[in-house]
Amino acid sequence: MTQSQKLHPGARFPDITLPRLGGGTLTLAQPENGHDWRMIVVYRGKHCPICTRYLRELNDAVPDLNQLGVDLVAVSADPVEKVEEQMAQVQPAYAVGHDLTPDQMQTLGLYVSDPRSPQETDRPFAEPAIFVVNAEGNLQIVDIANAPFLRPDLKLLIGGIRFIRDPENNYPIRGTHL
């Protein structure tokens, strides 16, 4: 089994482009809509009810994130058909990317799992992760989980981003020692 290298806080976020739900492409580290930071949420896929609930909760976080200058995107390894079905339930207020490849998962340092059965899904998938990329394109916050029930509390995360973005706090990127 190949072990992936984890991304390090302060490092440049990898240049990864995915198909965007609804057409076009999505460059993960490139904020849109006039924002200068981006939060990238990696979710397991349509087979995961915890993901669907968390993706819905992200809708409520969008205004607070946008007020802080943070653009939001969610991505998974699911093909477009599964993403369309799941997003019909979620009605996302943010961009969604799909078809994350195994090589891209490895580049991001994600934990990858095989399906428990063909009924769950038909391909290896990434476990949850959140990356917050700052205006310089560097990783400000990294959260990589190996199980579906390990996800940051969004209110706590938004409060942390608010604290970091306040210039009076002069808060550095944490966890940069190897």
pLDDT averaged over 10-residue windows placed end to end, the chain, 178 residues: 77 97 97 97 96 97 98 97 97 98 96 81 89 97 94 97 97 90
Q: What is the pTM of this model?
A: 0.95
Helix 154-165 crosses helix 49-67 at what angle (to 10 degrees)?
A: 30
- The whole-number pLDDT of residue 4 equals 61
- Could you count the other beta carbons within 10 Å of the beta carbon of residue 34? 8
